[in-house]
Amino acid sequence: MDIQPFTIAVSNQQLAALKARLQGTRWPASFAGNQDDDARDSEADFAFVRDLSQFWQETFDWRAREAQLNHLPQYHALVDGLKIHFIHQPGIGPAPLPLVLTHGWPGSFVEMERLVPLLADPGSHGGDPKDAFHVVVPSLPGYGFSEAPGAGVSSRQIAALWAKLMDGLGYARFGAQGGDIGAGVSTWLGLDHPDRVLGLHLNYIPGLYRPPLGEGEPLLTVEESDFLKRAAAWYAEEGGYGHVQGTRPQTLAYGLSDSPVGLAAWIAEKFRAWTDSTGQGVSRDAMLTNISLYWFTNTIGSSVRLYRENRRQPLQFGPGERVRPPLNVAVFPRELPMPPKSWVERVYDVHRWTIMPRGGHFAAMEEPELLAADIRAAFRPLRERRER
């Protein structure tokens, strides 16, 4: 496998062009300062986006963030003809366990920036060196610095790419972790490559995941029925983004690729709504680093196209089909609707189900210490399986 070191280097021309576009923003007139209280809670309201845009223009320092990100060992690998960007941080400990972490949307590899050192070098962060991991963080195809794929590449095909990437790095057996789309990719790894995946750790169960139901299957419990109602209500109120991304990704891409404020509003709305305000949250610097990455790489169009591919190849299970590697779940209180344990146990072998004290959808950014501790604990009893 051809693997080459990679360094982020956004040009001065790109920085100047972004600033000019931000300065030339044409703001919407109809809702400026005229939204109701409910809209302010859920939408990217005018005052919030205006302040974020001003901070992006006048205060945010991309060069400083670029330098920080470049402290992470980054590479490009050619996997099945597709150039994949990834972090590869070797672990520091007596026997580090290979672990592939997969981000989601509207995130990026930036989500894992603070999590990587906690997993790779736990001994330097109050942990036990025996819990160290060789950490691999690929950028999803069409996200950030990974090349956009052609049609037909869903989370299932991405899982196959990850299996080949890990093989190219010399990791025959490994763990997989993720949330959001990353949870789907990790699950497909467990389904299609069970002999290579030692275990799974998920902090969100994929929205399109469906176990077999109906004749011959256990009846829905009250808790499961309540979950389906809550999920349906949530998607009816909050799921518009997913529907348009899954049905009209190219149409959406024109506006978001042309307007940095439009892009920021589309992404920042999710960070604002899906994080836990009682915890550490996500700083404006971290959020704008992620948004800037989408802007400089012009990948919002290719990123949202994955929603359409996943609608065409949903994660649905047939009778008797199960995910064989053991599953560990961290449930963060401000996460999107999560199924109950009994629902998950219909197709997964659940070994550990942890209710976390705080945190939301962007757990690796919001509460990296909590997430790292749970990942370490989850894989501790699985490490010995590598040699079997």
Catalytic entry in 180, 204, 209, 294: 180
Do the bridges between strand 74-79 and strand 3-6 make them parallel or antiparallel, or are there none, so unpaired?
antiparallel
DSSP state of 112: G
Quick count: other Cβ atoms within 10 Å of Cβ 371? Answer: 26
Neighbour-count burial for 350-360, b at 16+ CB within 10 Å, e otherwise: bbbebebebbb
Structural contact between residues 133 and 100, judged by C-beta atoms closer than 8 angstroms: no
Q: How are the residues of the chain apportioned to helix, strand and coil, as percentages rounded to the nearest 5?
A: 50, 15, 35
Bridge partner residues of 84 (DSSP): 77
∠ Cα 145 149 152 (to 5°): 150
Catalytic residue among 209, 307, 348, 374: 307
What tokens were used for 302? 């290719």
CA distance 160 to 14: 34
Q: Which of 85, 88, 134, 361 is catalytic?
A: 361
Q: What burial class does residue 383 get, using C-beta atoms within 10 Å of its C-beta: 0-12 exposed, 13-18 middle, 19+ buried? A: middle
Is 121 among the residues known to form the active site? no
Residue (of 96, 81, 59) closest to 146 by Cα position: 81
Return the closest-CA partner of residue 106 out of 367, 309, 300. Answer: 300
Say whether 307 is catalytic. yes
* The two three-digit tokens of residue 315, written as one number: 């994660």
d(CA 125, CA 128): 9
**Of 300, 256, 306, 303, nearest in space to 151 by CA:** 306
180 is catalytic: yes
Question: How crowded is the C-beta side of 331, counted as CA atoms within 13 Å?
Answer: 11
The pair of structure tokens assigned to 42 is: 């859920």
The catalytic residues are: 180, 307, 361
